[in-house]
């Protein structure tokens, strides 16, 4: 597998290089030069395979000889060790639960696969890989839990004091082992500035092998294709042929992976990109004008993105052909009031408690069905996080129905530890140099 940069079509790097660089120097994003087709026989018989088998088939088709078969199988079995069930809510409506991993959010797929790929590519005796992450909540938890116990790696997570939810704080601060948490007396932007300064610091770079484990890393995108194939397999087994996916979108990595799956040969009738009022993409598909804006805070805060970083990848997948893209992707936006109504409707009509991100994907399916009454496809809305991560959003009678998963109970019994720092870089640098 060779990759190019979306800013330079002539660049060629290996998968390993793309994984460790995260981002090309020209600030584009890495994309595969060639998108091979999965063989039709596999797709026709896909319902016979398990999630890890499907994951191996997809990953090996894409990666080719980059990781030998037995190593790739072991890596996938270790990374994707939880389920992604498509739960039927009524005749043709399914919720794809992507929150059964350790951080209770779909980012576990990307983080767990990336951590193991990085560890795999580190040669024996090579310098420890130091991952520095600033987080406002969810990404940090997935990265911390994704790297927990992975050999040859160490993670340092910076989070703003008092600004992450109790469950998120537990996920950041109860790990121990190779994970360190730093509570910064400042904002998320302060945390991000500290990490940026560390990456630019000569002395730190000379002493440590630093990486960002950034969310745009190509090794996070690839494993997110697995569950689209696996969902298709689950629906096919039940006799459904036509499938549409509705994806709650912020940086558009999740739906980008779905569209990559589509280009690899997954038969999908329609994708719906569901956003909150941070609606750069729906506006673009309506007007043809791509205009980013500063982000606005909403209930679905993991989707509060005004400049979706993966959008350039999606445009490249469709060779910049907006008309071709619009045949496959529809996009709708929803306000916080609508999100809350959606949560109530899913509860009353479908007897299901959905997190605010998930509720937006549900609303988008309802809207699509209203606008396309002739389309009788099975519709899957992706649930990107467990409802218990957002307790403050729900009316109390719905909140009472949320079951706290075992993962959280385990964390609650562990001691919390975070080091405290203020926003000055010298303090952070000293902390890192101490090792």
Ligand X SMILES: *Cc1c(COP(=O)(O)O)cnc(C)c1O
Q: Catalytic residue positions?
A: 107
Closest CB to ligand X among residues 92, 357 = 357
Residue 125: helix, strand or coil by DSSP? coil
Q: Under rule CB under 6 A, which residues in 105-134 are in contact with ligand X? A: 105, 107
Q: Report d(CA 30, CA 19) in Å as an integer.
A: 9
Structure tokens at 237: 């087994």
In the complex, the smallest distance separating the C-beta of residue 103 from ligand X, rounded to whole angstroms, is 9
250, 258, 282, 342: residue in contact with ligand X (rule CB under 6 A):
250
Name residues contacting ligand X, limited to 354-383 (CB under 6 A).
357
- Binding of ligand X by 275 (CB under 6 A): no
Interaction with ligand X in 303-342: which residues (CB under 6 A)? 303
Which of positions 286-305 make contact with ligand X (CB under 6 A)? 302-303
| Cβ-based nearer residue to ligand X, 43 or 302 | 302
d(CA 152, CA 164): 28
3-state DSSP assignment of residue 59: helix
CB-side exposure of 191: number of CA atoms within 13 Å?
24
For ligand X, which stretch binds (CB under 6 A), given 247-255, 392-400, 403-411, 422-430? 247-255
Q: Which two tokens stand for residue 252?
A: 């558009």
What is the distance between the alpha carbons of residues 270 and 272, in angstroms, rounded to a whole number? 7
Interface with ligand X, residue 213, by CB under 6 A: no
Give me the least distance between CB of 357 and ligand X, in Å please: 4
Shortest distance, position 216 Cβ to ligand X, whole Å: 10
**Number of other CB atoms surrounding residue 305 within 10 Å:** 22
Token pair listed for 360: 């937006």
For residue 122, the minimal CB distance to ligand X (Å) is 26
Q: What angle do CA 187, 193, 198 make, to 5 degrees?
A: 135
**Gap between the Cα atoms of 325 and 118, Å rounded:** 33
Tokens of 80: 């994707």
**Interface residues for ligand X in 383-412 (CB under 6 A)?**
384-385
DSSP 70-115: HHHHHHHHHH--S---EEEEETTEEEEE---STTSBTHHHHHHHHH
> Which span sits near ligand X by CB under 6 A: 45-53, 161-169, 248-256, 423-431?
248-256
Query: Any contact of residue 92 with ligand X (CB under 6 A)?
Result: no
Region near ligand X per CB under 6 A, out of 16-24, 114-122, 203-211, 252-260:
252-260
Q: Determine the Cα–Cα distance for residues 321 and 217; give it in Å rounded to an integer.
A: 24
252 contributes a contact to ligand X by CB under 6 A = yes
Nearer to ligand X, 208 or 271 (CB): 271
Q: Is 251 in the site for ligand X (CB under 6 A)?
A: yes
Q: Shortest gap between Cβ of 253 and ligand X (angstroms)?
A: 3
Question: For ligand X, which stretch binds (CB under 6 A), given 46-54, 172-180, 246-254, 427-435?
Answer: 246-254
* In the complex, minimum distance from the CB of residue 305 to ligand X, in angstroms, rounded to a whole number: 7
Task: Check the CA dihedral 161-163-165-168 and report its sign.
Answer: negative
Helix (H, G, I), strand (E, B) or coil at 211: strand
Counting residues that bind ligand X (by CB under 6 A) gives 15
Check if the beta carbon of residue 154 is closer than 8 Å to that of residue 129.
yes
Which positions lie near ligand X, rule CB under 6 A?
A: 105, 107, 138, 248-254, 302-303, 357, 384-385
């Amino acid at each position: 597998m060779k990759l190019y940069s979306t800013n330079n079509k002539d660049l060629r790097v290996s998968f390993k290089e793309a994984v460790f660089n995260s981002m090309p120097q020209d600030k584009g994003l890495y994309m595969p030069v060639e998108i091979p087709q999965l063989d039709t026989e596999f797709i026709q018989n896909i319902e016979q395979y398990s999630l890890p088998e499907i994951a191996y088939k997809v990953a090996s088709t894409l990666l080719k000889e980059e990781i030998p078969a037995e190593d790739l199988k072991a890596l996938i079995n270790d990374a994707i060790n939880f389920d992604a069930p498509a739960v039927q809510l009524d005749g043709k409506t399914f919720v794809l639960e992507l929150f059964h991993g350790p951080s209770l959010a779909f980012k576990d797929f990307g983080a767990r696969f990336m951590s193991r790929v990085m560890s795999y590519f580190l040669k024996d005796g090579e310098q420890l890989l130091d991952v520095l992450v600033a987080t406002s909540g969810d990404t940090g938890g997935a990265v911390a839990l994704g790297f927990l116990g992975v050999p040859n790696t160490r993670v340092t997570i910076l989070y703003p004091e008092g600004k992450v939810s109790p469950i998120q704080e537990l996920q950041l601060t109860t790990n121990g082992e190779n994970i360190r948490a730093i509570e910064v007396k400042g904002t998320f932007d302060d945390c991000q500035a500290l990490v940026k300064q560390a990456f630019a610091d000569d002395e730190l770079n000379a002493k440590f092998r630093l990486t960002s484990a950034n969310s745009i890393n190509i090794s996070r995108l690839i494993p997110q294709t697995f569950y689209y194939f696996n969902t298709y397999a689950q629906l096919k087994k039940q006799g459904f042929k036509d499938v549409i996916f509705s994806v709650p979108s912020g940086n558009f990595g999740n739906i980008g992976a779905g569209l990559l799956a589509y280009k690899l040969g997954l038969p999908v009738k329609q994708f719906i990109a569901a956003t909150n009022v941070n609606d750069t993409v729906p506006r673009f598909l309506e007007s043809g004008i791509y205009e980013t804006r500063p982000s606005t805070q909403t209930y679905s805060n993991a989707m509060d993105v005004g400049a979706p970083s993966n959008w350039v990848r999606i445009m490249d997948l469709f060779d910049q052909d907006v008309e071709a893209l619009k045949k496959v992707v529809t996009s709708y936006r929803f306000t916080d009031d609508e999100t809350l109504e959606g949560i109530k409707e899913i509860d009353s009509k479908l007897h299901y408690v959905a997190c605010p991100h998930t509720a937006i994907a549900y609303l988008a399916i309802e809207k699509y069905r209203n606008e396309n009454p002739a389309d009788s496809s099975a519709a899957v809305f992706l649930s990107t996080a467990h409802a218990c991560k957002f307790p403050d959003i729900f009316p109390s009678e719905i909140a009472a129905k949320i079951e706290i998963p075992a993962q959280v109970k385990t964390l609650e019994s562990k001691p919390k530890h975070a080091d405290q720092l203020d926003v000055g870089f010298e303090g952070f640098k000293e902390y890192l140099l101490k090792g």
